[in-house]
Amino acid sequence: MTRVVALTPNPAWDVTYRVDRLLPGESLRVRSVVARAGGKGVNVARVVRALGSASVAVCPLGGPLAGPFADDLDADGQPAAVVPVAGAVRQSVAVVPAEDGGHPTVLNEPGPALDDAEWAALVAACVAQVGTAAAVVATVSGSLPPGTTRERVVGLVGALRAAGARVHVDVSGPGLVWAAEAGADLVKPNRSELVEATGVDDPARAVGELLRRGARAVVVTDGERGLTAYEAGPDGPASPAVVGRARLAAPVAGNPTGAGDAAMAALAVDPDQPWAHRLALAAATSAAAVLQPVAGAVDRADVDRLLTHVVTEPES
Amino acid sequence: MTRVVALTPNPAWDVTYRVDRLLPGESLRVRSVVARAGGKGVNVARVVRALGSASVAVCPLGGPLAGPFADDLDADGQPAAVVPVAGAVRQSVAVVPAEDGGHPTVLNEPGPALDDAEWAALVAACVAQVGTAAAVVATVSGSLPPGTTRERVVGLVGALRAAGARVHVDVSGPGLVWAAEAGADLVKPNRSELVEATGVDDPARAVGELLRRGARAVVVTDGERGLTAYEAGPDGPASPAVVGRARLAAPVAGNPTGAGDAAMAALAVDPDQPWAHRLALAAATSAAAVLQPVAGAVDRADVDRLLTHVVTEPES
């Protein structure tokens, strides 16, 4: 069975405030406060476990909220490898109004920079978790700490591949291109991240750019329009070939936060399956995440049910 | 010299987020994060020291941010008496946009409830700080913890008065009326708090209600229109007499957060002076607080300069 090592380079203590309504410039009473360990990699780790595979969440943690963060993972039964760092784990505050359809406003703190020794310790912790197991997928998800360089990202992906892991990357900004350059086995941007990272407006050409840089595969998510996987075509990486597509026959309504992380989890749990199978599981798991009120959760029964409503190319 | 025991029954870890702009429903990048120990009583304690008098901040503190909170007071040289409690100190998040004149949106968490033993320990800590010094003013400021009863407020004010302190109260909601009923030496609502607490629309009648309930004096703040002090008139408490007024000849522009706490501090430092003197210092200190970017700070030189621009009745 595949084991997933899920790195969150810039974890967040996710705080949810329920308010009557959010009026800019006003002083508001928060009706309820819920807080939990978060960050995209933590979501991936949790969904991997919900799908029945093993995962470990790797997180740099420091500051006063490091203890509650680790305690929350522990209470959830989530195996974790914590790398102590000096900077304080950031908060991400979601303000959910009772009005306006409950659409949240999210305030994302930038998070702490890591020094060279801390980054090296983080890479070493990931490599140690890869260990000598036969089938390990290492995922890298979310924002990168402020000041993260190309050298660091290339070094991370290279070290994980050298240790024998497949490396899947879903990071925002230039880190996506750097991961491709380091030969990541899979990069998973959504449509807007794809354009933002490459600076290329046309999606097919932007995918070609990531493949040309060195990514082995690119999976582009596009909300309810589903997922498309690309690999280098017969004429080379700049002419990408669609190797699979999957979408739900009818979209589900709910909370889209964490849907991309659920897809990352599904793509990681069985990487030797054909693309149609992997993409179908990703589409169903992503939709199952939309049905949950919080990110990082799916109900396995929802995944199984939704799998029967997935349309794939080629048929799975 | 008067010593001020400044209680904050529901302290807050004040977090300030600078953002480009606050758009409800969007996911926003926080540009900078500043956090410090806060709450109205903490502001009072800090301003008392800036005015050259001694203060101690009394706070119930629990949870992961209790340590950073106490450390912040310590780094500021602010004497403090911390009462450990089980509930986590709340956060108050101010979101300051670069646009819209920088007017903040503030998200106030409710804070933890205290159990009977914790409330008793808090009262005991305040009484211990009153000690046997000749001239002590105890201030009670800000919101009360969820579930605070009339019995608790009456017990607190009574215990402090029995210990020999004068008791000044600036709390929101029904606690203001309860403090009056307990015979508080001074209650300091602003115009809207006065109406909200008493349910009486006419300010003079609302003041009469607080005096009739038992308050020895009422000081009403009304922004740039200044402060008015009332005591029971010759016909009894229901017919209040204005015993002094003070306002700045020309208002100052700036950050009004903490201006009321600055007035509380000024009213506490020299309670044996005539009303005109006390109110003039309160008006000048309040205006000096408006000139500062954060609550709980004044520059003594600003206070001295602004004092020469205060108009009082009777003339001071």
Q: Residues B60, B64, B69, B70: is their CA dihedral positive or negative? A: positive
User: Which residues does B306 contact at the CB level (< 8 Å), separation at least 6?
Assistant: B248, B252, B283, B284, B287, B288
For residue A12, what pLDDT band results from cuts at 50, 70 and 90? very high
CA distances from residue B91 to A15, A29, A63, B42, B79 in whole angstroms, order as listed: 11, 12, 16, 14, 21
Interface predicted TM-score of the whole assembly (ipTM), two decimals:
0.88
Tell me the Ramachandran region of residue B174: left when phi exceeds 0, alpha when psi lies from -120 to 50, beta otherwise: alpha
Residue with tokens 């909601």: B173
Sort strands A105-108 and A90-97 into parallel, antiparallel or unpaired.
Answer: antiparallel
Residue B49 maps to a domain: yes
Residue with tokens 């491709």: A180
d(CA B83, CA B59): 6
Residue range B156-165: average pLDDT? 97
For residue B30, what pLDDT band results from cuts at 50, 70 and 90? very high
Q: Per the CB < 8 Å rule, is B28 touching A107?
A: yes
Give the structural domain span for A122.
Answer: 3-11+39-89+111-313
Q: Per the CB < 8 Å rule, is B109 touching A17?
A: yes
Which tens digits make up the pLDDT trace of B190-212? 999 999 999 999 999 999 999 99
Residue A79 maps to a domain: yes
* Residue-level pLDDT at A134: 76
Here the contacts of A26-29 (C-beta below 8 Å, separation 24 or greater) are: A26/B105, A26/B106, A27/B105, A27/B106, A27/B108, A28/B105, A28/B106, A28/B107, A28/B108, A29/B108, A29/B110
Residue range B159-183: average pLDDT? 96
CA distances from residue B35 to A58, A282, B115 in whole angstroms, order as listed: 27, 40, 27
d(CA B180, CA A40): 52
Highest mean pLDDT among A22-26, A134-138, A294-298, B90-94: B90-94
In three-state secondary structure terms, A109 is coil
User: Which residues does A301 contact at the CB level (< 8 Å), separation at least 6?
Assistant: none
Q: Per the CB < 8 Å rule, is B25 touching A105?
A: yes
Sort strands A310-313 and A236-248 into parallel, antiparallel or unpaired.
Answer: antiparallel
- Contact, A82 vs A61, CB < 8 A? yes
Which tens digits make up the pLDDT trace of B68-96? 999 999 999 999 999 999 999 999 999 99
Residue B161 maps to a domain: yes
Q: A47: exposed, middle or buried (C-beta count within 10 Å: 0-12, 13-18, 19+)?
A: buried
Residue in B closest to A69 by C-alpha: B64
Residue A148, φ and ψ in degrees, nearest 5: -65, 130
For residue B316, what pLDDT band results from cuts at 50, 70 and 90? low
Residue B24 maps to a domain: no
d(CA B96, CA B312): 35
Residue A54 maps to a domain: yes
d(CA A158, CA A160): 5
A100, pLDDT greater than 70 = no
- Contact, B218 vs B240, CB < 8 A? yes
Residue range B135-147: average pLDDT? 96
Residue range A274-288: average pLDDT? 97
Chain B environment of A27 (Cβ under 8 Å): 105-106, 108
* Closest Cβ opposite residue A107 in set B17, B25, B67: B17
d(CA B265, CA A50): 56
d(CA A301, CA A303): 5
Residue range A14-41: average pLDDT? 94
Chain B environment of A104 (Cβ under 8 Å): 25
For residue B250, what pLDDT band results from cuts at 50, 70 and 90? very high
Q: B233: exposed, middle or buried (C-beta count within 10 Å: 0-12, 13-18, 19+)?
A: middle
Distance of CA B46 to the CA centre of its chain: 11
- Chain B contacts to A (CB-CB under 8 A): 15, 17, 19, 22-31, 33, 64-65, 67-68, 90-91, 93, 95, 97, 100, 103-110
d(CA A290, CA A295): 8
Chain A environment of B93 (Cβ under 8 Å): 93, 107
Q: Per the CB < 8 Å rule, is B30 touching A107?
A: yes
For residue B99, what pLDDT band results from cuts at 50, 70 and 90? confident
DSSP string, A130-170: HTT-SSEEEEEEEPPPTT--HHHHHHHHHHHHHTT-EEEEE
User: Total structural domains in chain A?
Assistant: 1
Residue A229 maps to a domain: yes
d(CA A288, CA A298): 6
Report the CATH number that the domain containing residue A180 is assigned in CATH: 3.40.1190.20
Residue with tokens 């629990």: B62
d(CA B44, CA B169): 11
For residue B61, what pLDDT band results from cuts at 50, 70 and 90? very high
How close A239 comes to chain B (CA, Å)?
34
* Closest Cβ opposite residue B93 in set A25, A93, A108: A93
Q: Per the CB < 8 Å rule, is A27 touching B108?
A: yes
* Tokens linked to A309: 């409503």
- Chain A contacts to B (CB-CB under 8 A): 15, 17, 19, 22-31, 33, 64-65, 67-68, 90-91, 93, 95, 97, 100, 103-110
User: Which residues does A24 contact at the CB level (< 8 Å), separation at least 6?
Assistant: B22, B24, B97, B100, B103, B105
Answer with the residue of higher pLDDT: B136 or A256: B136
Sort strands B3-7 and A32-38 into parallel, antiparallel or unpaired.
Answer: unpaired
* Closest Cβ opposite residue A105 in set B26, B68, B110: B26
* Tokens linked to B238: 């229901």
Residue B46 maps to a domain: yes
| Total-model pTM | 0.91
Instruction: Report the amino acid identity of residue B88.
Output: A
DSSP string, B264-288: HHHHHH-TTS-HHHHHHHHHHHHHH
CA torsion B84-B90-B96-B102 (nearest 10°) is: -80
Question: How many CB pairs below 8 Å do chains A and B form together?
Answer: 81
* Closest Cβ opposite residue B30 in set A26, A104, A110: A110
In three-state secondary structure terms, B159 is helix
Question: Residue A314, preceding bond cis, omega within 30 degrees?
Answer: yes
For residue B28, what pLDDT band results from cuts at 50, 70 and 90? very high
Share of chain A above pLDDT 90, in %: 90
Q: Per the CB < 8 Å rule, is B97 touching A33?
A: no
For residue A313, what pLDDT band results from cuts at 50, 70 and 90? confident
Residue A104 maps to a domain: no
